[in-house]
DNA sequence: TTGGTTCTGATTGAATATGATTAAGTAGAG
DNA sequence: CTCTACTTAATCATATTCAATCAGAACCAA
């Protein structure tokens, strides 16, 4: 059977829900809309062929992430407010015509969304999310390609390295999983670490965006020392002792 | 019968209702206005030809409300069904462990969404939308970086070229804006054209996915000849003469 | 009046959407 | 790995809804 016109009311309702929640379940749609599962599934299939959603077992997720607002999983919504503050502080460090690098990580993503209207900026990134967030608008966007690492949605690997070598940006804004005075900057994935290392070397200035919960944490692979950082931005949850220790490494510290 | 002057009151009443809620049903209009379903339908058909509304099964929706705009105006939803058929046919050409390239274009995107569950595939792409569509799942995804071209959401430019040079895929699935026997394959953007050209050279096999409306069209910049294509997939709206001409160029033709 | 025009309502066969059923498939717990 | 519970795709029957056609009512002009 060919579906030509099915109640657009329902499609709109589903789309609306997905804009808010990024994931819906068949059963829940049945209750909300008041139709049978079969109908809901037909609607979803239809929307999938239009490229609006992606069906998954049990329901559907939105297909084009840039449409949905609070899209990113749990991570981005955690400590959202702190991240927003940190991003605002980072904004102060950017000149209108800079060339900057944004790496993966939810705090950096928060910064990216605030740059959408800065038309003369050039933004280099190895993060799919950052690229999506900026895809429609303002700044010139250059994406470092490579193999897509699913978990972080960033590009890593040899091809990534090849491309980073060619580029030299004014400032890099970077996140990290762990920051420890003795053990330095650490993250979970070796390839990711290698990429971060390369980026640090190719940038004139390194700005680290870290919410205070990461301070003192140590992850798997190191990608630099605290002294490699030029400016360090965190929220006001950080202890003064930690911040003092970081300042001693000749790092400018900003608390937002 | 041509309707010249049917009660303007009714049309106005319907328009008024649609301004409030974006969906009306035939039955409900009958009760409100007090006429037969046949009349209501005639009114709706008339309003549709004037571009005021859109008829759907069971009633009508307003023609250009902000709400449903992203649903119906997205390019990807145009000829969605043909594109889906073409994508299904393309699926047949893929071996489980292939390395394939997907370029930008909505038909290719339709193919991408169908590959989400093929776990042993390696997919190379220069399209942000393809990357997003595949980001969560299944295949290994390698993205060709470069400067993001806003309109098509693809990566182009010298950095893109640099990376494509390094890679050699089994099969490339490609779309085009224009396909003409004499003028060959054409697209709107010179940088895009250059990228496509490079991709063609780096692939062992070239598969072109084209809905039939593109046949005979000529766009701005050429990026190859019809003979460069190995397999050509289109929907059943293509004329036999055109297909014959394409076959004469030593191209395998598939209609889906 | 007659004839023509225009709209409306009714009828009918075809098209379409929906929900139920069933067999196959998938995820998750043990 | 197997089992269980849930989800899905496919098919079918049913109830709406649609388009087309025709007949009748209202209106106007000669």
Inter-residue contact B206 to B140 (CB < 8 Å): no
Residue A241, classified by CB atoms within 10 Å of its CB into exposed (0-12), middle (13-18) or buried (19+), is exposed
How far, in Å, CA of A180 to CA of A245, rounded?
10
Query: Would you say residue A67 lies in a domain?
Result: no
Report the chain B residue with the minimal C-alpha distance to residue A63: B133
Inter-residue contact A138 to A180 (CB < 8 Å): no
Nucleotides of D under 7 A from a protein CB: 6-12, 16-21
Give the 3-state secondary structure of residue B184: strand
Contacts of B44 in chain A (CB under 8 A): none
Q: Which of residues 5-64 of B touch strand C (CB under 7 A)?
A: 5-7, 10, 35-36, 38-39, 42, 57-58
Of B55, B72, B89, which closes a domain? B72
- Given the structure tokens 């929907």, which residue do they identify? B235
Size of interface A-B (CB pairs under 8 A): 134
- Given the structure tokens 């042993």, which residue do they identify? B120
Of B54, B72, B90, which closes a domain? B72
Mutate to test the interface with B, among A49, A149, A150 (most CBs of B within 10 A): A49
* pLDDT above 50: residue A6: yes
Mean pLDDT of the region A180-193? 94
- CA of B69 vs C1' of D17, distance in Å? 26
Same domain, B152 and B30: no
Whether A144 contacts chain B with CB within 8 A = yes
Q: Give the model's pLDDT for residue A5.
A: 55
CATH code of the domain in which A28 resides: 1.10.10.10
Q: Give the model's pLDDT for residue A51.
A: 76
Stretch among A14-18, A58-62, B5-9, B195-199 having the lowest mean pLDDT: B5-9
Whether B172 contacts chain A with CB within 8 A = no
- CA of B74 vs C1' of D14, distance in Å? 35
Mean pLDDT of the region A29-47? 92
Query: Would you say residue A115 lies in a domain?
Result: yes
Q: Give the model's pLDDT for residue A30.
A: 93
Contacts of A166 in chain B (CB under 8 A): 159, 162
| DSSP β-bridge partners for residue A178 | A186
Q: Give the model's pLDDT for residue A75.
A: 47
List the strands of the sheet with A53-56, edge to edge.
Answer: A23-25, A59-62, A53-56
For residue A150, the distance in angstroms to the closest alpha carbon of chain B comes to 6
Which residue from A152, A111, A132 is spatially nearest to A143, judged by alpha carbons?
A: A132
For residue B204, the distance in angstroms to the closest alpha carbon of chain A comes to 21
Q: Are A8 and B61 an interchain contact pair (Cβ–Cβ within 8 Å)?
A: yes
Inter-residue contact A103 to A126 (CB < 8 Å): yes
Q: Cα-flanking dihedrals φ and ψ of residue A71, to 5°?
A: -70, -45
Render pLDDT for A117-151 as a digit per residue (tens, 0 to 9). 899 999 999 999 999 889 877 899 999 999 999 88
Query: Would you say residue A68 lies in a domain?
Result: no
B52 touches strand D (CB under 7 A): no
Let me know the angle formed at the C-alpha of B208 by B236 and B142, rounded to the nearest 5 degrees.
135
Residue B21 CB-half CA count within 13 A: 9
How far, in Å, CA of A173 to CA of B204, rounded?
40
Query: Would you say residue B241 lies in a domain?
Result: yes
Same domain, B87 and B176: yes
Question: CB under 8 Å, gap of 24 or more: what pairs does B12-16 form?
Answer: B14/B43, B14/B44, B14/B47, B14/B53, B14/B60, B15/B47, B15/B52, B15/B53
How far, in Å, CA of B64 to CA of A129, rounded?
30
Give the tokens for residue A210.
């870290």
Higher pLDDT, A40 or A50: A40
Whether B198 contacts chain A with CB within 8 A = no
Strand pairing report for B231-234 and B146-149: unpaired
Same domain, A81 and A205: yes
Identify the residue whose Cα has the smallest distance to the C1' of C19: A36
* pLDDT above 70: residue A94: yes
- CA of B82 vs C1' of C16, distance in Å? 20
Q: How far apart are the first and last CA of chain B?
A: 38
A10 touches strand C (CB under 7 A): yes
Query: Would you say residue A69 lies in a domain?
Result: no
Whether B213 contacts chain A with CB within 8 A = no
Mean pLDDT of the region A31-54? 89
Query: Would you say residue A3 lies in a domain?
Result: no
Q: From first to last of its 256 residues, what are the pLDDT tens digits of chain B? A: 444 455 778 888 888 888 888 888 999 999 898 899 999 999 999 888 887 888 889 888 887 644 444 444 455 556 777 787 888 889 889 987 899 999 998 889 888 888 877 878 899 999 998 998 887 667 899 999 999 998 889 999 999 999 999 999 999 999 999 999 999 999 999 999 999 999 999 999 999 999 888 999 999 999 999 999 999 999 888 999 999 999 999 999 999 8
Same domain, B137 and B203: yes
For residue A124, the distance in angstroms to the closest alpha carbon of chain B comes to 9
For residue A12, the distance in angstroms to the closest alpha carbon of chain B comes to 6
Render pLDDT for A190-202 as a digit per residue (tens, 0 to 9). 999 999 999 999 9
Q: What is the mean pLDDT of chain A?
A: 88
Same domain, A58 and A164: no
Report CA B90 to chain centroid distance, whole Å.
Answer: 14
Give the 3-state secondary structure of residue B236: coil
Q: Are B162 and A162 an interchain contact pair (Cβ–Cβ within 8 Å)?
A: yes
- CA of B14 vs C1' of C7, distance in Å? 18
Alpha helices in chain B (DSSP H): 8-20, 26-33, 37-49, 69-73, 80-91, 106-114, 128-134, 158-166, 190-202, 240-248
Report CA B182 to chain centroid distance, whole Å.
Answer: 24
Q: Give the model's pLDDT for residue B70.
A: 43
Q: Cα-flanking dihedrals φ and ψ of residue B64, to 5°?
A: -135, 60
Contacts of A15 in chain B (CB under 8 A): 70-71
Same domain, A201 and A243: yes
CA distances from B256 to B83, B101, B212, B232 (A): 9, 21, 11, 11
Contacts of A4 in chain B (CB under 8 A): 57
Query: Would you say residue B178 lies in a domain?
Result: yes
Of A24, A41, A62, which closes a domain? A62
CATH code of the domain in which A214 resides: 3.40.50.1360
Give the tokens for residue B20.
């409030």
Alpha helices in chain A (DSSP H): 8-21, 26-29, 37-49, 74-77, 80-91, 106-114, 128-134, 158-166, 190-202, 240-248
Residue B124, classified by CB atoms within 10 Å of its CB into exposed (0-12), middle (13-18) or buried (19+), is buried
Inter-residue contact B54 to B48 (CB < 8 Å): yes
Give the tokens for residue A204.
């004139």
* pLDDT above 60: residue A70: no
Contacts of B175 in chain A (CB under 8 A): none
Q: Give the model's pLDDT for residue A235.
A: 93
Number of domains in chain B: 2
Q: Give the model's pLDDT for residue B136.
A: 67
Same domain, B115 and B234: yes
**Residue A93, domain extent:** 74-255
Same domain, A120 and A212: yes
Q: Are A63 and B133 an interchain contact pair (Cβ–Cβ within 8 Å)?
A: yes
Give the tokens for residue A65.
């992430």
Residue A63, classified by CB atoms within 10 Å of its CB into exposed (0-12), middle (13-18) or buried (19+), is buried
Those residues whose C-beta lies under 8 Å from the C-beta of residue B96, and which sit 6 or more positions away, are B118, B120, B121
Same domain, A98 and A14: no
Residue B255 CB-half CA count within 13 A: 13
Same domain, B79 and B148: yes
Same domain, B154 and B207: yes
Q: Are A162 and B159 an interchain contact pair (Cβ–Cβ within 8 Å)?
A: no
Q: Are A12 and B68 an interchain contact pair (Cβ–Cβ within 8 Å)?
A: yes
Instruction: Report the percentage of chain A scoring pLDDT > 90.
Output: 64
Same domain, B126 and B67: no
Query: Would you say residue A237 lies in a domain?
Result: yes
- CA of A9: nearest nucleotide by C1' is C17
């Amino acid at each position: 059977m060919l579906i030509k016109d099915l109640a657009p009311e329902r499609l709109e309702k589903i789309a609306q829900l997905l804009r808010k929640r990024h994931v819906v379940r068949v059963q829940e749609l049945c209750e909300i809309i008041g139709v049978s599962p079969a109908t809901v599934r037909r609607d979803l299939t239809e929307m999938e062929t239009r490229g609006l959603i992606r069906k998954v077992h049990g329901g559907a997720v939105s297909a084009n992430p840039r449409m949905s607002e609070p899209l990113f999983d749990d991570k981005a919504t955690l400590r959202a407010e702190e991240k927003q503050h940190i991003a605002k502080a980072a904004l102060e460090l950017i000149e209108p015509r800079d060339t900057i690098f944004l790496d993966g990580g939810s705090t950096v993503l928060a910064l990216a969304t605030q740059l959408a209207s800065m038309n003369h900026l050039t933004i280099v990134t190895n993060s799919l999310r950052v690229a999506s967030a900026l895809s429609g608008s303002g700044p010139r966007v250059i994406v470092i390609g490579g193999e897509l690492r699913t978990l972080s949605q960033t590009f890593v690997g040899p091809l990534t390295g090849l491309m980073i070598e060619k580029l030299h940006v004014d400032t890099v804004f970077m996140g990290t999983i762990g920051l420890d005075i003795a053990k330095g900057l650490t993250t979970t994935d070796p390839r990711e670490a290698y990429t971060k290392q390369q980026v640090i070397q190719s940038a004139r200035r390194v700005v680290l965006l870290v919410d205070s919960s990461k301070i003192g944490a140590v992850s798997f692979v190191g990608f630099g020392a605290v002294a490699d950082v030029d400016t360090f931005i965190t929220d006001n949850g950080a202890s003064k002792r930690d911040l003092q220790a970081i300042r001693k490494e000749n790092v400018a510290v900003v608390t937002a």
